[in-house]
Amino acid sequence: MIVARTKRDLRVSLEAPRRKGRSLGLVPTMGSLHQAHLSLLRAARARCDVVVMSLFVNPAQFGPDEDLGSYPRDEARDLELAEGAGVDIVYAPPVEEVYPEGFATSVEVGGGLTEVLDGAPERRGPGHFRGVTTVVAKLFNSVAPDIAFFGQKDAQQAVVIRRMARDLDYPVEIEVLPTLREPDGLAMSSRNRYLSPEDRERALALSRALRAAESVATAGETRTEPALAAAHAELESAGVEPEYLEARDAETLTPAESLNGRPVLIAVAARVGRARLIDNTVISWIPEGGNR
| Amino acid in position 43 | A
Q: What number of CA atoms fall less than 13 Å from residue 161's CA on the CB side?
A: 29
Q: Where in the sequence numbering do the catalytic residues fall?
A: 37
What pLDDT sits at residue 36? 96
Domains of the chain by residue range: 2-177, 190-283
What pLDDT sits at residue 169? 98
What pLDDT sits at residue 254? 97
What pLDDT sits at residue 288? 52
How confident is the chain (292 residues) per 10-residue block, as mean pLDDT? Answer: 98 97 98 96 98 97 88 95 98 98 97 96 94 98 98 98 98 98 95 95 98 96 96 98 98 95 96 96 70 48
Return all residues near 179 (Cβ < 8 A) that are at least 6 apart: 36, 151, 152, 153, 187, 188, 279, 280
Return all residues near 117 (Cβ < 8 A) that are at least 6 apart: 123, 156, 244, 246, 248, 253, 267, 269
What pLDDT sits at residue 286? 55
Query: Where does 2-177 sit in CATH, by number?
Result: 3.40.50.620
| Amino acid in position 233 | A
Q: From its phi and psi, is residue 80 left (phi > 0), alpha (psi between -120 and 50) or beta?
A: alpha
Tell me the whole-structure pTM to 2 decimals.
0.94
What pLDDT sits at residue 282? 97
Superfamily of domain 190-283: Pantoate-beta-alanine ligase, C-terminal domain (3.30.1300.10)
Maximal CA-CA distance, the chain: 61
Dihedral angle over CA of 30, 127, 283, 41, nearest 10: -20
